[in-house]
Chains A and B, each alone.
Chain A
Amino acid sequence: DAGVTQSPTHLIKTRGQQVTLRCSPKSGHDTVSWYQQALGQGPQFIFQYYEEEERQRGNFPDRFSGHQFPNYSSELNVNALLLGDSALYLCASSLGQGDSPLHFGNGTRLTVT
């Protein structure tokens, strides 16, 4: 039973560049949520995708965008990277529109220099 997988594991980018992070949900899950976690803090909700549409969005600027594919996998795109975007980006999958438990991947560590 494959869990949530994220790629890449680490990434170094320069300020102003663009980045794409990828997530494959746990087998049988159809909902993907993305989180940003700064050092020493809890994850902050970026957005959630269900049925290929953004269902909920947290307090993040439009530089953060996403996509969900028919196979339920998802991408997180960040444009015009800032130094403050350096963080661990976590993907979580769950089932349906209800309140099912979240299952997390190991994250992508993004460093912006």
Chain B
Amino acid sequence: KQEVTQIPAALSVPEGENLVLNCSFTDSAIYNLQWFRQDPGKGLTSLLLIQSSQREQTSGRLNASLDKSSGRSTLYIAASQPGDSATYLCALIPNAGKSTFGDGTTLTVKP
């Protein structure tokens, strides 16, 4: 059974700091990994998708890496801003069906 773990559950940093969010999983198989952002009471906004054959993806101040051998992904946020405050979730996206999500890391960026 696929399990996805995100540690820490919560993180508070001052504005401008660079930070790393972690996602670990038990079964790498042939999966894509997708990072999302969720604001309180809202749906999920896709940030980055790393396909199973890739090792990283970048978008603006965000960089996500995937290491299937160790069962880990990291989301790097550069120069954090108060607007980055949200819950960040990672998900393993299999071929045909049952995606598995972590419980997320709630990030607070203090001005």
Q: What number of residue pairs across chains A and B have CB atoms under 8 A from each other?
A: 70
Docked complex: B5-47 residues within 8 A CB-CB of A: 31-32, 34, 36, 41-46
A102 engages B97 (CB within 8 Å): no
Given A99-B31, A99-B32, check contact A104 B93 (CB 8 Å).
Answer: no
Query: Which of A4, A6, A56, A109 is close to B98, meaning CB atoms less than 8 Å apart?
Result: A56
Query: Once the chains are docked, how many angstroms separate the CA of A99 from the CA of B94?
Result: 6
- Does A63 sit within 8 A of B, measured CB to CB? no
- Does A73 sit within 8 A of B, measured CB to CB? no
B93 engages A102 (CB within 8 Å): yes
- Does A40 sit within 8 A of B, measured CB to CB? yes
- Stretch of B61-69, B70-78, B100-108 with 4 or more beta carbons under 8 angstroms from chain A: B100-108
- Does B81 sit within 8 A of A, measured CB to CB? no
B95 engages A97 (CB within 8 Å): yes
Docked complex: A1-60 residues within 8 A CB-CB of B: 4, 6, 33, 35, 40-45, 48, 55-56, 58
A-B CB contact pairs (8 Å), 27 listed:
A33-B97, A40-B103, A42-B102, A42-B103, A43-B89, A45-B98, A48-B98, A55-B96, A55-B97, A56-B96, A56-B97, A56-B98, A88-B41, A98-B95, A99-B31, A99-B32, A99-B94, A101-B93, A102-B34, A102-B46, A102-B91, A104-B43, A104-B45, A105-B43, A106-B42, A106-B43, A107-B42
